[in-house]
Amino acid sequence: MADDRTSKAARPSLSRQLLPAVHGMLARPLSSYYLLIAGSSLLLLIGLTMVFSATSVKAYEENGSAFATIANQAVFALLGLVAFWICQRLPATTLRDLGKYILGAAVVLLAILDLIGALASVGVLKPDVHGVVTLGPIHAQLLWLYLGPIGLQPAELAKLGMVLWGADVIARKGPALGHWRELARPLFPVIGLLFVLVGYNDLGTMLVLLALIIGLLWAAGVRLRVFAALGVIGLAGVGLLIAAASGGAGSGSADAGNYRLARLTNFLQPLDKCDLNDNCYQLIQARSAIFEGGWFGVGLGKSVLKWNWLPEASNDFIFGVVAEELGVVGCGVILALFSVLAYTGFRIARRSADPFRRLAATAITTWLVTQAVINIGGVTGMLPITGLPLPFISTGGSALVVTLAAIGMLASFARAEPDAARALNARPPAMWVRLLWAPLPPLPPQRQPGAGSGRAPTPAGGEGRR
């Protein structure tokens, strides 16, 4: 008996066996890269599966084929994978140069979209029965611009442009970023213009842009009082945008403003005090989907509320379909994958020696995680409903292509980590792999005696946060 107790005490516990193994796996040079690829691939696969489940019945009713919507989403997924492949191959210098052009194109497209919306609100242009407004060869519908059969959301392009341009500007300023006048030129004017162009029509995207910019400034080491000032300015801007929409010309503008205010405040009301016919409808139906799903769900494809009960079941509220069909377990898998994405993105930023890569990786991770949190929080009633799609999971071509392009950039940064770059150059893959997948990253500078393990240096503006 004593021998059995001694052997049990000497035997290591399961956690003591697993932790060294996990630590060893994460210590490998390319762990960040493989974690990013695995997590993003699983999210994309789950997204395509849930889009088919959420749209098959409606697609069959409208088009005579249950595969109409998923086929369209699969095409955008393929385009996104091409964007991933291109961005993974581009060097950091090229990405820095592309930032200003992407952001400039997004600003022009946003201005056109807002102009068409303004002309429609004052009666100069008339929308058709589907809400499409036409100005010459350009068509606009809500947040979409169409030129012939090609449609895109300029706000999605603005996120990517802001990541690259903002990271380039901050990296160039370096320690000088600690002064207010360096933030004011040209960062704040461009941010203000972008917020006006985006925020009037799309408050949710404006909040994501604000989080993205905060991530950039945090990674740059900007002082805490700057964040306090940005918080005050951001809240004031949200209030002004709601007030402007509420007090705009025409009853349509006032209705839009009241609707926006209601969506921002309804989540604070108890459900028993919500009217099913007012702006609480979406929240009530999402809660019903979560309740029906329980722990293990009703089964894949067996959701009932997606049959025109849950609004935007394949887009803004697809997490409700996940909750109903896959239950708490399925929702937990998606949350775990987004947690892996967050960990991996910030790990890449921490390990990047180049300031631009560190800043861009932080901004991309903040953008994707914040958007996921806002979407899931809105569906579960923990946050206001803002109309943001769930990255990787919701339908939407522009959002999926831009998201996969951002993941491609993160993959490029992961391969450029000092330890990863040394490992890849020490044992380079075959030439055909480098031609078809990704070239070798540049070797980092040689370590100086006593230097660290390739982690990021002191942030720009290295006076610290005070």
Q: What is the pLDDT of residues 79-135, one digit of tens each?
A: 999 999 999 999 999 999 999 999 999 999 998 888 888 888 887 888 877 778 887
Q: Which residues, 6+ apart, have CB-to-CB distance to 29 below 8 Å?
A: 417, 419, 420, 422, 423, 424
For the stretch 73-87, pLDDT in tens is 999 999 999 999 999
Tokens representing 248 are 């705009």
Neighbours of 456 (CB within 10 A): 19
**Angle (CA) 392 262 335, round 5°:** 25
Q: What is the pLDDT of residue 39?
A: 95
Q: Kindly tell me if the per-residue pLDDT of 268 is higher than 50.
A: yes
Cα 253 versus chain centre, distance: 29
- Rounded to whole angstroms, the Cα distance separating 324 from 65 reads 24
Q: What is the pLDDT of residue 289?
A: 83
Q: Kindly tell me if the per-residue pLDDT of 254 is higher than 60.
A: no
Q: Kindly tell me if the per-residue pLDDT of 338 is higher than 60.
A: yes
Rg (CA), the chain: 24
Q: What is the pLDDT of residue 413?
A: 95
Nearest in space to 93 (alpha carbons), one of 312, 356, 390, 455: 356
The mean pLDDT value for 433-452 works out to 72
For the stretch 42-84, pLDDT in tens is 999 999 999 999 888 888 888 888 888 899 999 999 999 999 9
DSSP string, 139-174: EEETTEEEETTEEE-HHHHHHHHHHHHHHHHHHHHG
- Rounded to whole angstroms, the Cα distance separating 273 from 264 reads 16
Give per-residue burial for 175-195: e unless 16+ CB within 10 Å, then b: eebbeeebbeeebeebbeebb
Q: Kindly tell me if the per-residue pLDDT of 365 is higher than 50.
A: yes
Burial group, residue 401, by CB count within 10 angstroms (0-12, 13-18, 19+): buried
pTM to 2 decimal places:
0.86
Neighbours of 388 (CB within 10 A): 25
Q: Kindly tell me if the per-residue pLDDT of 452 is higher than 60.
A: no
For the stretch 193-230, pLDDT in tens is 888 888 767 778 888 888 888 888 888 887 777 777 77
Q: What is the pLDDT of residue 190?
A: 83
Q: What is the pLDDT of residue 4?
A: 54
Lowest-confidence range among 75-79, 80-84, 276-280, 296-300? Answer: 276-280
DSSP string, 170-217: HHHHGGGGGSHHHHHTTHHHHHHHHHHHHHTT-HHHHHHHHHHHHHHH
* Selected residue with higher pLDDT from 342 and 137: 342
pLDDT band at 179 (very low <50, low <70, confident <90, very high): low
Q: Kindly tell me if the per-residue pLDDT of 176 is higher than 70.
A: no
Q: What is the pLDDT of residue 59?
A: 85
